[in-house]
A and B are shown apart, each in its own frame.
Chain A
Amino acid sequence: MLEPQFESALAHRAAPDTLSISMREISERGMIDLRGLATDKKFMSAVKSVLGFDLPKAPRASTSWGDLKALWLSPDQWLILCTRSKTNSLLAELNAALAKIHSLAVDVSDMRAIIRLEGESVRETLMKGSSLDLISDDYKAGTVRRMRFAEIAALLHVVEENVIDIYVFRSYAEYTWAFLTKAARKGAEVKLFKR
């Protein structure tokens, strides 16, 4: 029997050295889509028993613990991030704990492609494709925001001040990569803000 082979969406792409920020794909990450009511105490404690931490309840917040991260997507939806190889076991544990609770946990590791952007002008670069004020205090480290980016749906996760992960649906990975390599090229920086 032949084994199926996994290849990430941007495996054949390397960032050109003509960019003002650094850009790479993160492929070794597993993702679980978790839905349930934040007001349901049974649900929240069952999830805590598996993850080891409380799901973030505040809008657009995220929580992390070791390899695990939980991103707030909506009042009843979270994205759990883990190491790709551990996705199946984590999902099985979640499903076991949530068996009798109205909820849903699905492996969506292959649904989205993740691009990590690092550098001083990361926010200005992203603002070329978005109408949001990414410079404001609203987007400090840990913030999660689903948004419209370069006309497509994207998920933004501010990891650190100058490190931002952007999640797009896999079929849009190529397009996003092409957009970013143009928007972030050297000499095309937006010099609107003092550093």
Chain B
Amino acid sequence: MLVVTCPVCNASGDETDFHYGGQAHVRRPATTDPVNITDEDQRDYLFIRHNPKGLHFERWRCDRGCGKWFHAARDTVTMEFKATYGITELPPAELIKEAKGPWADYFKKRLKEKA
């Protein structure tokens, strides 16, 4: 059983008090650049998801608690929640460093945009 802590109401609870909401940080191409959307971009947005062994980033909802959505970094091997953070935020810096594969590429891109 997963033990989750909501970053909004700071309450810890069992997996059953929360609701999984799919992969985190999925961005709709039409939001950023509505004119130049390729079929590949749209396909990736709708259907393509990461499936890493290890550190993964997800959306969760404090379903039976405060009702707010938040982000979570979870290890898919140990099932450990490494961190939970706000729905508009990027993960803590040390977890961004730990990220591998497509996640590492994604955060690199995001941080470049931010700078």
Contact = CB atoms under 8 A, between A and B. Distances in A.
Interface in B1-44: 1, 8-14, 16-17
Interface in A111-151: 131-133, 138, 145-148
Nearest to A153: B64
Given A59-B8, A60-B11, A138-B11, A148 B17 contact: yes
A181 B84 CA distance: 38
27 contacts: A59-B9, A59-B10, A59-B11, A60-B9, A60-B10, A60-B11, A73-B66, A74-B9, A74-B66, A74-B67, A75-B66, A75-B68, A77-B67, A131-B13, A131-B14, A132-B12, A132-B17, A133-B12, A138-B12, A145-B65, A146-B65, A146-B67, A147-B17, A147-B64, A148-B16, A148-B63, A153-B64
A77 B66 CA distance: 9
A74 B66 CA distance: 5
B68 A131 contact: no
B17 A59 contact: no
A188 to B, nearest CB: 22
Interface residues of A, number: 15
Contacts of B63: 148
A174 to B, nearest CB: 20
Interface size bracket, B side: 10 to 19
Interface string A6-35: 000000000000000000000000000000
A60 B64 CA distance: 13
Nearest to B1: A131
A133 B12 CA distance: 9
Nearest to B64: A148
Contacts of B12: 132-133, 138
B68 A74 contact: yes
Contact of B8 (A75, A148, A153): A75
Given A73-B66, A132-B14, A146-B67, 13 more contacts: A59-B9, A73-B67, A74-B8, A74-B68, A75-B8, A75-B9, A131-B13, A133-B12, A138-B11, A138-B12, A146-B66, A148-B17, A148-B63
- Most A C-beta atoms less than 10 A away, residue of B8, B16, B66: B66
Nearest to A58: B10
A147 B68 contact: no
Contact of B64 (A75, A77, A133, A146): A146
Contacts of A145: 11, 65
Contacts of A146: 64-67
Interface string A63-77: 000000000011101
B44 to A, nearest CB: 33
Nearest to A136: B12
A145 B12 CA distance: 11
Contacts of A74: 8-9, 66-68
Nearest to A132: B13
